């Protein structure tokens, strides 16, 4: 009988092994041939590895193989001596003794995009059409490595605050956010929907673990074709019980963002540098009431208030600009949104029920978070549903939590792709979405 005992040590080495001097002299490394550059007397064969690019040097005669057999896109094992070389991407190069080909691209394949260029200088359309290939560009892939870091930081921070990670269903019988922007499907003869948010479930789980979070896909059948909407995106949600007020949620988010920024600077410095991002420390975040914010920007920027119940995208931009100019802050919490624009589970402000104990977080002039305190009292929740003409009996599963007792609680949802977009100063959320889904895009 044969047994698998775990990972066997490999003779292959990684960039970090070489940089940390764990490996010296003669090395074997794998990689994809990113580019071949003929320099006359010799050639550079640049390998793309997960940690970066490695410059290998081929010299006719001294390397034990012919460069004529090599093509870009092949994957290989390269062997040779490591030499310090300041001008090489990693500060070293490998002088090739041998190359073994592991795999080859299709014989006549023509690369549709110049992925080995630093910046591809192509349209977003092309990048998305050829996503499986364009992501091999060093800059492109750094975006999603950094995105990994955002989610990691989010989770690590919340674990440290005693939150429990949950996994809620995406196939649901009813939806929390209402409206028409919901995908429907047939579920063995029943009507099912794709979850617009984990709202009902995360509130439910506050009754179980007090503090919960989830980072998972949500689905919105929005017919908007804008630079900031997606039909599927990653929502980073948390929900917490025993709050004194909705300020507790804003405090938790502020601390979380501070942690994430530190985490990125610590663990993803390479990607930040590569993408030329300079993250400032988050010391504090100003808050402004929704109605005050409207007046502030209307006065300062001479803009008429057209819709008193909602913020237009342009107003968000101006509020962002205002707090950047006046308080040097990329972030601003806008609080107390009008009740009629918030969902039925939002808690109204007892001192003025036209408004809710809720907030959005704007980052560089764009909403990246919606949050607030939720109704925990059964009668209050039923009353608000009835006032909106909702069929209360359809929500008996959700109302089970209020019926049997819920602590005062609230939470928020953060759009991961939007947060990444603003962090990188990108102009289109598709730039920071691995495989975006929009009105016309269902593949790749």
Q: What part of residues 76-135 is at the interface with its own copies (CB under 8 A)? A: 102-106, 109, 111, 130-133, 135
Taking residues 384 to 423 in sequence order and writing x for each that binds its own copies by CB under 8 A, - otherwise, the string is: -------------xx-xxxxxxxxx-------x-------
187 touches its own copies by CB under 8 A: yes
Give a three-class secondary structure readout of 137-166. CHHHHHHHHHHHHHHHHHHHHHHHCCCEEC
- First and final C-alpha spacing in the chain: 43
6 touches its own copies by CB under 8 A: yes
Number of chain residues interacting with its own copies (CB under 8 A): 120
- Alpha-carbon gap, residue 156 to 260, rounded angstroms: 9
In whole angstroms, the minimum distance from the beta carbon of 178 to its own copies comes to 17
In whole angstroms, the minimum distance from the beta carbon of 41 to its own copies comes to 28
Residues 327-386 close enough to bind its own copies by CB under 8 A? 327, 333, 376-379
- Which of 285, 372, 299, 384 lies closest to 335 in space, CA to CA? 372
Regarding beta strands 190-194 and 171-172, do their DSSP bridges make them parallel or antiparallel, or are they unpaired? antiparallel
In whole angstroms, the minimum distance from the beta carbon of 166 to its own copies comes to 6
Segment contacting its own copies (CB under 8 A): 36-44, 48-56, 310-318, 383-391? 48-56
Of 109 and 387, CB closest to its own copies = 109
Segment contacting its own copies (CB under 8 A): 92-100, 209-217, 300-308, 423-431? 209-217
CB 18 within 8 A of CB 51: no
Residues 141-180 close enough to bind its own copies by CB under 8 A? 141, 144-145, 147-148, 151-152, 159, 161-162, 164-174
295 touches its own copies by CB under 8 A: no
- Alpha-carbon gap, residue 90 to 47, rounded angstroms: 12
β-sheet bridge partners, residue 76: 31, 101
Of 42 and 122, CB closest to its own copies = 122
Taking residues 242 to 281 in sequence order and writing x for each that binds its own copies by CB under 8 A, - otherwise, the string is: x----x--xxx-xx--x-----------------------
In Å, what is the CA distance from 54 to each residue of 29, 57, 95, 262, 379? Answer: 9, 10, 11, 29, 65
DSSP-assigned letters across all residues of 174-200: S-SS-SS---EEEETTEEEEE-S-SHH
Give me 6's structure tokens: 């775990």
- Alpha-carbon gap, residue 58 to 39, rounded angstroms: 10
In whole angstroms, the minimum distance from the beta carbon of 197 to its own copies comes to 14
Segment contacting its own copies (CB under 8 A): 53-61, 120-128, 285-293, 304-312? 285-293
190 touches its own copies by CB under 8 A: yes
Helix (H/G/I), strand (E/B), else coil: 61:
coil
In whole angstroms, the minimum distance from the beta carbon of 61 to its own copies comes to 27
- Alpha-carbon gap, residue 399 to 425, rounded angstroms: 42
Of 32 and 36, CB closest to its own copies = 32
In Å, what is the CA distance from 417 to each residue of 13, 118, 144, 255, 366? Answer: 34, 23, 10, 20, 12
Q: Which of 74, 293, 311, 385 binds its own copies (CB under 8 A)?
A: 74
20 touches its own copies by CB under 8 A: no
* Triad 31, 145, 360: Cα angle to 5°: 170
Q: Which of 126, 208, 295, 386 binds its own copies (CB under 8 A)?
A: 208
286 touches its own copies by CB under 8 A: yes
- Which of 177, 166, 178 lies closest to 238 in space, CA to CA? 166
In whole angstroms, the minimum distance from the beta carbon of 213 to its own copies comes to 10
């Amino acid at each position: 009988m044969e047994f698998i005992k775990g990972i066997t040590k490999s003779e292959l080495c990684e960039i970090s092994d070489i940089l940390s001097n764990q490996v010296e002299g003669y090395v074997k490394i794998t990689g994809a041939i990113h580019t071949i550059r003929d320099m006359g007397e010799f050639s550079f064969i640049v390998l793309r590895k997960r940690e970066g690019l490695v410059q290998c040097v081929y010299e006719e005669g001294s390397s034990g193989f012919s460069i004529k057999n090599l093509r870009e896109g092949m994957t290989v094992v390269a062997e040779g001596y490591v030499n310090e070389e300041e001008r090489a991407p990693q500060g070293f190069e490998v002088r090739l003794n041998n190359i073994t080909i592991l795999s080859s691209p299709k014989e006549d394949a023509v690369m549709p995009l110049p992925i080995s260029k630093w910046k591809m200088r192509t349209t977003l359309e092309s990048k998305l059409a050829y996503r499986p290939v364009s992501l091999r560009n060093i800059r492109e892939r750094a975006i999603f490595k950094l995105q990994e870091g955002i989610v990691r930081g989010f989770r690590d921070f919340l674990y440290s605050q005693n939150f429990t990670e949950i996994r809620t269903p995406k196939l649901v019988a009813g939806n929390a956010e209402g409206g028409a922007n919901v995908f429907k499907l047939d579920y063995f003869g029943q009507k099912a929907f794709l979850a617009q948010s984990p709202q009902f479930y995360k509130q439910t789980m506050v009754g179980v673990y007090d503090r919960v979070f989830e980072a998972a896909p949500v689905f919105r059948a929005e017919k908007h074709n804008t630079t900031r909407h997606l039909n599927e995106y990653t929502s980073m949600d948390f929900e917490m019980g025993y709050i004194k007020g909705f300020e507790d949620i804003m405090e938790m988010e502020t601390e979380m963002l501070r942690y994430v920024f530190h985490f990125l600077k610590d663990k993803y410095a390479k990607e930040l540098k590569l993408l030329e991002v300079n993250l400032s420390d988050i010391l504090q975040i100003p808050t402004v009431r929704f109605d005050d914010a409207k007046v502030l920007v209307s006065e300062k920027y001479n803009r008429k208030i057209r819709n008193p119940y909602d913020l237009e995208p342009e107003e968000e931009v101006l509020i962002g600009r205002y707090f950047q100019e006046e308080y040097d802050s990329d972030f601003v919490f806008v609080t107390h949104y009008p009740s009629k624009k918030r969902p039925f589970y939002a808690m109204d402000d007892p001192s003025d029920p036209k408004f809710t104990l809720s907030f959005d977080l704007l980052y560089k002039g764009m909403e990246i978070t919606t949050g607030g305190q939720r109704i925990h009292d059964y009668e209050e929740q039923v009353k608000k549903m009835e006032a909106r003409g909702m069929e209360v009996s359809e929500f008996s599963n959700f109302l089970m939590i209020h019926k049997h007792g819920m602590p005062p609680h609230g939470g928020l949802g953060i759009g991961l792709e939007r947060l990444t977009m603003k962090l990188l100063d990108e102009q289109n959320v598709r730039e920071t979405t691995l495989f975006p889904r929009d009105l016309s895009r269902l593949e790749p």
